[in-house]
Amino acid sequence: MALKTTATTDVNLRAGASADAPRVDVVPHGQPVEVLGNNGVWLFVTFNGKEGYIKSDFSNSVDENNGAQGWSTTVDALSLNVRGGPDPNAKRLGSLRAGQSATVVGHTGKWLRIQFDTEPAFISSGFTHSVSAGAVGAGPAGQLTPEQIKQERTAIAQIADAAVKGDRYQALQARVPYQSQRDNQARDALGHKVETTSGNMCNLTSLGMALAYLGVSNPDPSKQYEDALEAVRVHHGLPERTNISGWGGVANVLGVRYSLLSDHETTHPRQWWEANVLPALRSGRGVIMSICGHIVRVQDVKAEGLIVDDPYGHCTLRAGGQGHWTYDAFNAYDVAGQTVGDDSLWKWPDVGVHTMRWVASLEAPLAKAFGEEPEPVQQPPPPDLVDDGVVLGDAQDD
């Protein structure tokens, strides 16, 4: 038996866990609905055959929930008090740590009743989640569309606790759909495919993943995301995609500003990545970088090394710069649905000896209203940094 809650007033059912998310329906006062989970103070429910979110403040679980299965929610705060009643002044029974799970058996407004020893126990839902803020219609393997990511980012931006906000932004990085450059269909003025067997579109493909993380919609849904970005570049007469003014100009047209965390060929120790790139990821920015000619998206900074999304495939870095990496697997050319380079781990010993050409972060301002796209941005001329976009060649065999 699923846990049920009753609306204490007419309450909006929304597509995401945000007051700015589109309204799906209205749950009438007194109407019981099944609860599937929560994202902070938003309950993920089903009503009239539709799934969506209602604000927990406007509902209470019904009396007959004894024995209901409820759901398991995860703590986001570093330490979350467990109290004997739905009140911040109620007796403190203990605490839960970040990452711990609790079984929810009911709720009173924003207070979740949980299983905790033998006493009635409550935790504040604002520091927990069991589903993404954009979980409605989520793609395969928990991936989210850019529009769902935008809803999630809107909800994260409202979190006051900086540590919790950083955790949520960092976790969201892994929900971005992987894009393979190898099946791109964009063509040049002569009708030739831009993506060749040796590469060429790692730039806009990696940029596409970073833009998707920022909640930027595909500018032309009739095309693959990265192909649509190439069309934007051509339409606006921007420099070649291999130039920072090219891919960076595309980002600017779509309302995204970039900045360089590193702008010259050099190696970076683990401490540099932890001090410069990790804070960028935890602040909600996208990060892409050049490994001396080839561009990838940086997804996370872990104890083991960097997690990257390589649009070409999975490679191992070696000491040196241009061409000093070896592909042990790669996406098949002109075959859709390949994900070989997704979530690649580059271990610190390899990262520390390999020269990177540049590392860039990207950020987009929150739209004034949900669904409203930001205006294009203008930036000063960037450094003269050019990448050939080719990942295979004789240099790889030395």
- pLDDT higher than threshold 80 for residue 372: no
pLDDT confidence of residue 68: 60
Residue 221 structure tokens? 């849904």
CA distances from 100 to 43, 85, 127, 170, 325 (A): 19, 20, 12, 17, 39
Q: Determine contact, residues 310/289, Cβ cutoff 8 Å.
A: no
The arithmetic mean of pLDDT across residues 201-228, rounded, is: 95
Q: Residues near 289 by Cβ (< 8 Å), separated by ≥ 6?
A: 262, 295, 296, 298, 356, 357, 358, 359, 360
Strands 286-290 and 358-363 come out as antiparallel
pLDDT at position 370: 47
Backbone angles phi, psi at 178, to 5 degrees: -70, 140
Q: Give residue 171's pLDDT.
A: 87
- Report residue 142's pLDDT band, with 50, 70 and 90 as the boundaries: low
pLDDT, tens digit (0-9, with 9 covering 90-100), for 170-186: 988 988 999 999 999 99
Least confident of 163-177, 223-237, 269-283, 379-393: 379-393
State which amino acid sits at residue 232: V
Q: What is the mean pLDDT of residues 206-226?
A: 95
Above 70 in pLDDT, residue 206? yes
- Taking alpha carbons only, the member of 155, 79, 92, 82 closest to residue 112 is 82
Instruction: Give the pLDDT band (50/70/90) at residue 139.
Output: very low
Write out pLDDT tens, residues 332-350.
998 988 899 999 999 999 9
Average the pLDDT over each of 16-20, 96-100, 102-106 and give the range with the smallest value. 16-20
Q: Is-above-0.85 flag for pTM?
A: no
Interval 266-317: pLDDT, tens:
999 999 999 999 999 999 999 999 998 899 999 999 999 999 999 999 988 9
**What per-residue confidence (pLDDT) applies to 140?**
38
- The 10s digit of each residue's pLDDT in 18-68 is 887 788 899 999 999 999 889 889 999 989 888 889 999 999 887 655 566
pLDDT at 116 over 90: no
Quickly state the pLDDT bin for 72 (edges 50, 70, 90): confident
Q: What is the DSSP pairing of strand 4-7 with strand 121-124?
A: unpaired
pLDDT of residue 65: 56
